[in-house]
Amino acid sequence: MNNRDKAWVEHKDKPLLAHVIERIAPQVDDIIISRNHIDLRDKTLPYRCVSDGNLNFNGPLAGIASCLEHVTTAVTLVVPCDTPSLPTNLVSAFQEFLITGDLVIAHDGNREQPLIMMAKTDTLANIQAYLNSGKRSVRGWLQTTPYQVARFTGAPTAFENINDESQLK
């Protein structure tokens, strides 16, 4: 995206972040937005924006870890800001997996989507130790944490990440 802040990149006449919020807001009790750095536009949102406090862009796990101290729920949903078509039944589909496990990630029918996950909040606490060891990979962290996979086969574009300007409409 030519170093533009993806959250605020326009897609179908509104920022990517707005699409994601519209999809998940009806499914959750609270929204906390992880930001590498706080943008003035973030202050217009009715949600808490938390900076990961690191200008080195240590990746999404650093953002998740920074948000954890603000989470007050027993279960946490994590989604990226560049997936504007998330399923409207994401949370309910994930919840059944948390009956027998502590962490579930999405599978779009072709591959796992490790940044679309729901976990018992306590399970996410080990992210900081993983980061402290010098590692940053979401997939690497998942290898240290048992998880289940929720398969979403009827919506192939529901988990499409907008990573290139050619995908913007």
DSSP assignment, residue 33? Answer: E
Flag whether pLDDT at 132 surpasses 70. Answer: yes
d(CA 40, CA 12): 22
Flag whether pLDDT at 129 surpasses 60. Answer: yes
pLDDT band at 57 (very low <50, low <70, confident <90, very high): low
Domains of the chain, start order: 6-162 (3.90.550.10)
Flag whether pLDDT at 168 surpasses 60. Answer: no
List the structure tokens of 162.
């907008």
Q: Mean pLDDT throughout 129-156?
A: 92
- Residue 95: how many CB atoms within 10 A of its CB? 15
Nearest to 147 by CA among 111, 94, 104: 104
pLDDT tens-place string over residues 1-27: 456 688 898 988 899 999 999 999 999
Nearest to 84 by CA among 154, 8, 31: 8
Flag whether pLDDT at 54 surpasses 70. Answer: no
Q: Where are the beta strands (DSSP E) in 2-156?
A: 10-11, 14-15, 32-35, 48-51, 75-78, 103-107, 112-120, 148-151
Helix (H, G, I), strand (E, B) or coil at 159: coil
pLDDT tens-place string over residues 78-102: 999 999 999 999 999 999 999 999 9
Does residue 113 contact residue 152 with C-beta atoms inside 8 Å?
no
Q: What percent of the chain has pLDDT over 90?
A: 73
The confidence score (pLDDT) of residue 165 equals: 61
Q: Mean pLDDT throughout 37-55?
A: 85
Instruction: Name every residue whose Cβ is closer than 8 Å to that of residue 61 and which is 6 or more positions away in sequence.
Output: 127, 130, 131, 136, 137, 138, 141
- Mean pLDDT over each residue of the chain, to the nearest integer: 90
